[in-house]
């Protein structure tokens, strides 16, 4: 007797802080993809606008399975992702997708990322703005485009990651990769978290693949890019390099 195969469990980890307008839209877009065994894990940092309540409602009535991890403080994107990814692994995820709640990451590329992850030797797949076919938002001001391009050059010059979009935050991971790089011990926060995750992957000789995306500017809410986040992002590559040399 043969039994139907069960699709790998894919969990999309979505950190939120004041995203009550965007979160239902994102869950709807993910549901429309028709990916079998797709789950969403919302990690809410006690949003004062009620995002956590919206997430709880989606867990009860949403079009796909949604679970919610409520945290009592807002202490950074990296901490939220570590908490969410750790819980996703504990709950049996085979693939973990990390994705922003602000709709800047195109949901319709998720199937391509998963296909690339499962059909090649890639350990992680990045949604990349800087490979052929990729693009940044057309309404980005010139200084943001320049800052983004400089950040990628800066990180690659120091750490030799050899990826086009070293600061990308839209990724699909094999669960075994997250365990191998020990995601629970990642210390960086903010956008530097993305760099440290890539660095740990490369240091272990694992392959990073990139697929093109068009990165969009958020429609609702406010950007979380603060001066402290930018400073940490500038310092972390040097901390990683010094740690390796030690």
pLDDT above 70: residue 137: yes
Superfamily of domain 10-245 in CATH is Spore Coat Polysaccharide Biosynthesis Protein SpsA; Chain A (3.90.550.10)
Nearest-5° Cα angle at 103, 97 to 109: 50
Residue bearing tokens 């094999």: 174
Q: What digits encode the pLDDT tens for the residues 176-208?
A: 999 999 999 998 887 788 989 999 999 999 999
Q: Residue 92, Cβ neighbours under 10 Å: how many?
A: 10
- Per-residue pLDDT at 246: 44
Nearest-5° Cα angle at 100, 213 to 232: 100
Quote the mean pLDDT of the chain.
Answer: 87
Distance, CA of 12 to CA of 187 (rounded, Å): 21
Distance, CA of 205 to CA of 228 (rounded, Å): 31
Which range among 74-83, 167-176, 216-225 shows the weakest confidence by mean pLDDT? 216-225
197, with CB counted inside 10 A (0-12, 13-18, 19+), is buried
The structural domains of the chain, with segments of one domain joined by +, span: 10-245
Q: What digits encode the pLDDT tens for the residues 31-70?
A: 999 999 999 999 999 999 999 999 999 999 999 999 999 9
Nearest-5° Cα angle at 82, 81 to 87: 95
């Amino acid at each position: 007797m043969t039994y139907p195969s069960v699709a790998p469990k894919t969990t999309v980890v979505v950190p939120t802080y004041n995203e009550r307008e965007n979160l239902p839209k994102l869950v709807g877009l993910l549901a429309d993809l028709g990916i079998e065994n797709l789950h969403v894990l919302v990690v809410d940092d006690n949003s004062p606008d009620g995002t956590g309540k919206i997430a709880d409602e989606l867990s009860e009535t949403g079009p796909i399975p949604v679970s919610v991890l409520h945290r009592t403080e807002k202490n950074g994107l990296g901490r939220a992702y570590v908490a969410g990814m750790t819980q996703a692994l504990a709950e049996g995820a085979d693939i973990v997708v990390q994705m922003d709640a602000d709709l800047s990451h195109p949901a319709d590329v998720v199937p391509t990322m998963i296909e690339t992850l499962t059909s090649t030797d890639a350990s992680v797949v990045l949604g990349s703005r800087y490979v052929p076919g990729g693009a940044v938002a057309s309404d980005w001001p010139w200084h943001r485009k320049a800052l983004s391009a400089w950040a990628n050059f800066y990180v690659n010059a120091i750490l030799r990651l050899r990826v086009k979009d070293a600061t990308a935050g839209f990724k699909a991971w094999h669960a075994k990769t997250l365990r191998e790089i020990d995601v629970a011990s990642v210390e960086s926060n903010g956008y530097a978290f993305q760099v440290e995750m890539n660095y740990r992957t490369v240091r272990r000789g694992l392959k990073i693949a990139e697929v093109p995306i068009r990165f969009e500017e958020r429609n609702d809410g406010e950007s979380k890019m603060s001066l402290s986040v930018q400073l940490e992002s500038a310092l972390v590559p040097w901390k990683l390099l010094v740690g390796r040399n030690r």
